[in-house]
Homo-oligomer: A and B are copies of this chain.
Amino acid sequence: MIIITEQPLDPKVLTGAVREDTDGAVITFEGITRNHNDGRGVEYLEYEAYRPMADEKLQELIDEIKDRWEIDKVAVAHRIGRVDIGELSLVIAVSAAHRRPAFEATLHFVDRLKEVVPIWKKEYFEGGEVWIGDPGSERTTA
């Protein structure tokens, strides 16, 4: 299950999609909009995705962690558009017979997502905005 949506994310949908009777462990990772970053207050975030490439890369990452770890199912949802403080931007659910591979695979998935999936985050902080990872894009609104 791969979801890229402007709607709020519901972790229960993802967790429910991966849980099978053969599984002893389900990990759910939630990425949340924090109220601070790099020592300054954050007002909200805005995410943009290049589709369908983002969907394809997410599928490749699912295949990658299934190849490498003994896990069962993987579901991922990424929100795009405006995401307010305390709201979820990313949810990943991974099921497995045993817990350790599920933990390792989920962490690896998030690490890789942040390297290869064409999704960008613009931070609206107090007094300005910046595309994360691209300092030259910073603008102040003072």
Q: Which residues of A contact B (CB under 8 A)?
A: 11-12, 15, 19, 21-36, 85-86, 97, 99-100, 103, 106-107, 110
Contact = CB atoms under 8 A, between A and B. Distances in A.
A28 B35 CA distance: 21
Contact of A26 (B12, B24, B32): B32
Contacts of A12: 11-12
For the complex formed by this chain, how many copies does it contain in all?
A: 2
A32 B28 contact: no
A11 B15 contact: yes
A28 B30 contact: yes
Given A11-B15, A22-B35, A23-B32, 11 more contacts: A11-B11, A21-B34, A21-B85, A24-B32, A25-B32, A27-B27, A27-B29, A27-B30, A29-B103, A31-B99, A99-B110
Contacts of A106: 103
